[in-house]
Amino acid sequence: MTGTGKVRIWDPFVRIFHWSLVAGFFIAYFTEDDLQTIHNWAGYLVLALVVLRIPWGFIGPRHARFSDFVRPPAVIIGHLRDLARGQARRYIGHTPAGGAMILALLGFVLLTCLSGLTVLGLEGEGPLATLKASWDPRWEDVFEEIHEVLANFTLLLVLLHIAGVLLESWLHRENLIRAMVTGDKRAEDTPEAAGRED
């Protein structure tokens, strides 16, 4: 508890990770056509962030850990059903559906970055530059296509993620976006306030 009826939920790493990921993702997405250097550096930033977030999911504080928000499919489906009825309970960390979306976002951001690195390598640039000499040049078109499809699918996930955040914020009268900035959430109804492990 912080002494003001609030509890610290998101640690500084998670918050800096999140907003840097948002900036990196959108910069990369909107510079792919004609600002190639910026696009590449934004892609490297996003890749580095996701690679760092994975170990943090094992060694970070409680609500940053995968064990805190990765839940079985039955729990996720139950939560989505409750959401559709407008009766989903409040979670102090990520919700079950939010947790599943986080895994999907991390996975597809990673695949998008790896396919981008492959395209770059096939052009004889970046850490995979040796691919140009060893692979048939026709793979470049194939990987460009794969990279674009993955980026667009990730954008679709991002839009669903934002819709989910807005829905949960409205349902529980709680500004989840501000919580991802300050790190704090209201303490009432929390397992911490009730002395529960949840």
Q: Could you list the residues that contact ligand HEM (CB under 6 A)?
A: 14, 17-18, 21-22, 25, 53, 64, 94, 98, 102, 105-106, 109, 158, 161-162, 165, 176-177, 180
Residue pair 57/64 in contact (Cβ under 8 Å)? The answer is yes
Partnered with residue 185 across adjacent β-strands are: 7
User: Nearer Cβ to ligand HEM, position 129 or 177?
Assistant: 177
d(CA 95, CA 89): 9
Q: Which residues contact 163 (CB under 8 A, 6 or more apart)?
A: none
The b/e string for 43-56 (b: 16+ C-beta within 10 A; e otherwise) is bbbbbebbeebeeb
d(CA 133, CA 24): 30
Beta carbon of residue 169, minimum distance to ligand HEM (angstroms, whole number): 8
